[in-house]
Amino acid sequence: MEHLVRNVMIIDDSKNILREIKAYNRIFESIKEHNKIEYSIQFIPIQKYDEAINLLQHESEVFDVLLIDYDLRQSGNTEYGSDLVREIRSKINKHCKIIFYTMGDLAVVFSDRNELISLFNEGIYKFLSKDTISMSEIHHGQPELQLRVETIIEAINSIDFVQVTLERYFAEYGKIISDERILVNNKEYTINEIISLIKRDEDTGRIYKSNLAESIIIHNIISGGQR
């Protein structure tokens, strides 16, 4: 069985980002072993606003979770993390999980409450303060970093069930069904293409999910709800 890998992009211009990535990996591996998690995480650190946008636009790169810092000016960026969130949601990906974090209190960072509400309505999975610590009784690493990894895991676990089911199916039977094609609106797609379309919340992905749900309902009606 092939191994599932979840891609997590971390957009943060901190000088300590590479050291933090190493800590995230250690913490995740500890949690993974303790909780018997069946996937791995690839943490991708990005410091530049434009680099994040370019990578997110690549067809071959689909990210499950984005961890976005509010203040990105340390690396010469003129835009803030909140600007990045809005651009991602309006032009690139309406479906990935976004965790937004900042060093300051949200009420201070967003003195205009309407701006905070507007950002929340863009589809933020969770807001975090960088100095908030994990409340877990089990210590896996630095408490502040552990909380971020725990939140990333929560976000991954809340990913669309159709996407997860397809990924598990492909991971287990990928070699057998590598040539299989799925027909949506008279066009053929590979399973990997369908998964990517669902992740990006594109029309074809939504149509496939709707068709799949409809076929499941019809099957249950015909079978009398029996399993």
Question: How do the domains of the chain map onto residue ranges?
Answer: 4-157, 161-222
Q: By the 8 A CB rule, do 85 and 68 touch?
A: yes
pLDDT in tens, 175-206: 777 778 888 989 999 877 887 787 777 889 88
Q: Render pLDDT for 118-155 as a digit per residue (tens, 0 to 9).
A: 888 888 999 999 999 999 999 999 999 999 999 999 99
What's the pLDDT score for residue 1? Answer: 42
Which has the closest alpha carbon to 70: 8, 122, 14? Answer: 14
Poorest-pLDDT segment among 63-77, 86-100, 126-140, 197-211: 197-211
Class for the domain spanning 4-157: alpha beta
Helix (H, G, I), strand (E, B) or coil at 174: coil
Structure confidence at residue 141 (pLDDT) = 97
Q: Mark out the alpha helices in the chain (DSSP H runs).
A: 17-35, 49-57, 81-87, 106-109, 113-120, 143-157, 161-173, 191-199, 203-222
Cα 52 to Cα 44, 48, 79, 129, 170: the distances in Å are 10, 6, 12, 22, 28
DSSP letter for 31, please. Answer: H
Better pLDDT: 97 or 165? 97
Degrees to nearest 5, angle at CA 60 with 178 and 14: 135
The per-residue pLDDT of the chain, averaged, comes to: 86
Q: Are strands 187-189 and 182-184 parallel, antiparallel or unpaired?
A: antiparallel
Q: Which residues pair with 182 in a beta bridge?
A: 189
**pTM above threshold 0.85:** no
